[in-house]
Chain A
């Protein structure tokens, strides 16, 4: 199975171990190149603002953690709402969290910016599916 264009992925998570495992999984399934890493919402928001008009440098998919310092996933979504219009291409957001709290899940699903809620751990199959879905 070979995809003509590989989507660019950004993983936003403060947990270095998840960053590591996610990166490795994505590389193993060879679904995405490259993978951008951000440790909180504020960092990726700044990146998006900076490269809003450059589609080559914008990710196609964001895997967004909820619990992060400085700016958590929810806060990022609030701000992304305002940034989205200025972006050169559409970005798909998946919320990725270890939380199985229904309030988190419902809150994410109710947010129109979020395409899906993904519970950690994320298997290689699940990653493939999410990338393909795009």
Chain B
């Protein structure tokens, strides 16, 4: 850069060196004022300008002559570098070199030396010519600049100031290294394109930055910006930038140079120092509060906060205290004035609610809280306060009240008792619950709801609550007076005030239960009627059977015999037929008699009953059966737990007689008959059991025939098949029953249930 000021002809082309080098140098010296000297290949002077001689004298105190070898008089430290330069030129190189030469004590200066080889006609180097320029002054300035630059650089580092350059032509941005560090971007991550530079500018600041650049470039305004840059890791830092435009001859901007400084800390401090007023205003604004400060003496009011937003009045339109009073709803004015007077007199805070007219004439409800300020003398001078628009809240509250009212009405209208409870403790209930339980509402709230139910249902109810079951179920309730009633409980778990509570409806279902009971009773009655009918039907079938078999049979015989009689004239045969006919008719007669007996039993439901002792009756029967008992050696044991029964004498006699004679009749041939009679109570009924160790019977085979007429299952001459049929009818006619259990070869148990 320093060589630019030297306008020397291009050495190699122009140097057609004159024959006389001395003349040449002189000529050059004179024409340019340049210091020049030439040396031969042995470093001896071939020529030099006067100025050179003077310089040598001055810096080294040597008087030079032609032919003198230069290296000889140079001091050690300068000789070496001088020789290097001469040798380069003697080797054919053209170059310029700045070196410091000179004796310390005399003068040491910077010299810019231009070395050119000297050629002979054959192009061989014969020497060197050196043009010398004293550049000491310039070098000193440069040094100073460099020093200053380095100092500046240090200062900039310390002040976190970076230098940048923006070249319009290439749209390239250059950063000094500190900028990379400040913004937190590595040099390899930033290619310097202006477009990409804009990308790392915080999006909110981009427009401002461009506007500032525009102002500077178009309108020559100083470039000053504050903007944020987003670093590679997302860190945002604030920078303040300054810059100047370097323009071309026509004033066109060529490039911009500037500095950039990290002001993040200052910015943070600045943000922190947003004064409390601003914050207060922000809060007041966002809370939709109106602030006022009323000067009592002047009647003036300072309005602030959300006056405009709430009342649609600008603060200056709100005016003084009179206007304020004027805007209060006429109906509310008296009580507000009175309240204020009282607060003022007592220096109390006030908290009032009133309707207030807005600019549009619409009324809003204001909540006005404030206080009076007294001066040193105790005289009230100011009233300060805040007003808040609570119209919406008011509406919400009234809607809530309304819905609560509706809910309560609904609850009251419900026939049931409704309670909300948390783990049994009643939180809220309706009048219905009070009506059902007999407790007052006040007694119920806070009471454990379980106590409203009978203890035997507590576990069930707890379980239902635990499972959050919402199906209705029945229980029994206990009223305050201790009386019980049937209850249908219908509970539902619902979230309420942050927890899960249970809404339970009690429904008194006593009348329903009573109807149910009635239905059950009626059902039972119908069932018994049906049973009765079934029995009757069975008896009817039995009767048909009896008629079919027992009556029809001898009649058919008779008819056949009569035919036989008609078809023969043989008197002997006829006599036989008549005899048989007689047998048949008498059989028919006896069957009819038996049937009649049974029918009599069936008809005689209201047969007279006496209080009978089982043991007495048994004694009577054993007397009647004495012969058979003695003959069989039967052992009759009695165990009458229930000693007495009210029953028709002949029936009980018939029952005992038939069962005991049966037991003897069908005794086991290999063992002595043991007949065990016992009575016991089963519910309200008396049971008689007759247990024997006789032949027993295969019930699977004969079970369906046991109590039928004319059924005998043992090959016994006395078997008539009427006894069991008879006593069955006797027992059943009076509402009892008879059954048999038996095991073939082991014995039988007849069980008679006497209906109470």
- Interface of A with B (CB < 8 Å)? 15, 17-18, 20-21, 24-25, 66-67, 69-70, 72, 75, 97-101, 103-104, 120-121
Contacts and interface: CB of A to CB of B under 8 A. Distances in A.
Contacts of B713: 69-70
Q: Which 3 A-B pairs have the closest CB atoms?
A: A99-B548, A98-B553, A120-B556
A98 B544 CA distance: 12
Nearest to B704: A74
Nearest to A67: B549
Query: Secondary structure at chain B's binding surface: helix, strand, loop or mixed?
Result: helix
A100 B548 contact: yes
A20 B579 CA distance: 13
Contacts of B711: 69, 72
Contact of B556 (A24, A69, A75, A98): A98
A67 B712 CA distance: 10
Interface string B688-714: 000000000000010001000011111
Contacts of B504: none
A67 B705 CA distance: 11
A20 B548 CA distance: 21
A15 B559 contact: no
Contact of A101 (B544, B554, B559, B580): B544
Given A67-B710, A69-B721, A100-B548, A21 B560 contact: yes
Contact of A17 (B557, B701, B721): B557
A98 B549 contact: yes
A120 to B, nearest CB: 4
Given A17-B583, A98-B556, A69 B712 contact: yes
Given A67-B549, A69-B719, A69-B721, A21 B710 contact: no
Contacts of B549: 66-67, 97-99
A76 to B, nearest CB: 12
B715 A70 contact: yes
Contacts of B556: 18, 98, 120-121
Given A18-B557, A20-B580, A67-B553, A104 B715 contact: no
B719 A100 contact: no
Given A15-B553, A72-B711, 15 more contacts: A18-B556, A18-B560, A21-B557, A21-B560, A21-B564, A66-B549, A67-B549, A67-B710, A98-B555, A100-B552, A101-B545, A120-B552, A120-B557, A121-B557, A121-B559
B561 interface: yes
Interface in B533-565: 541, 544-545, 548-550, 552-557, 559-561, 564
Contacts of A100: 548, 552
13 contacts: A15-B557, A21-B564, A67-B710, A69-B711, A69-B715, A70-B713, A98-B552, A99-B545, A101-B548, A104-B548, A120-B556, A120-B557, A121-B557
B431 interface: no
Contacts of A103: 541
B545 A17 contact: no
B584 interface: yes
Contacts of B715: 69-70
B473 to A, nearest CB: 50
Nearest to A40: B715
A42 to B, nearest CB: 8
B548 A17 contact: no
Query: Secondary structure at chain A's binding surface: helix, strand, loop or mixed?
Result: loop
A16 B673 CA distance: 34
Most buried by A among B555, B560, B564: B560
A17 B584 contact: yes
A120 B584 CA distance: 14
A75 B697 CA distance: 14
A21 B564 CA distance: 8
Nearest to A13: B553
Nearest to A71: B713
A74 to B, nearest CB: 9
Contacts of A72: 705, 711
Interface in B572-596: 580, 583-584
A11 B553 CA distance: 16
A106 to B, nearest CB: 13
Nearest to A75: B701
A46 B642 CA distance: 48
Contacts of B552: 98-100, 120
Given A15-B553, A21-B561, A121-B560, A98 B721 contact: no
Contacts of B553: 15, 18, 67, 98, 120
A108 B556 CA distance: 20
B705 to A, nearest CB: 8
A113 to B, nearest CB: 18
A83 B561 CA distance: 35
A17 B710 contact: no
B716 to A, nearest CB: 9
Contacts of A20: 580
Nearest to B562: A121
A79 to B, nearest CB: 10
Nearest to B555: A98
A72 to B, nearest CB: 8
A97 B550 CA distance: 11
A60 B33 CA distance: 176
Contacts of B719: 69
Nearest to A103: B541
Interface in B211-240: none
Nearest to A42: B715
Contacts of A75: 701
Contact of A70 (B564, B583, B712): B712
Contacts of A21: 557, 560-561, 564
B364 to A, nearest CB: 97
A72 B584 CA distance: 21
A100 to B, nearest CB: 6
A24 B564 contact: yes
A25 B559 CA distance: 13
Most buried by A among B541, B549, B564, B710: B549
Contacts of A17: 554, 557, 561, 580, 583-584
Contacts of B705: 72
B713 to A, nearest CB: 6
B714 A98 contact: no
A69 B719 CA distance: 9
Contacts of B541: 103
Contacts of A24: 564
B406 to A, nearest CB: 72
Most buried by A among B550, B552, B713, B721: B552
A70 to B, nearest CB: 6
B710 to A, nearest CB: 7
A65 to B, nearest CB: 9
Contacts of A101: 544-545, 548
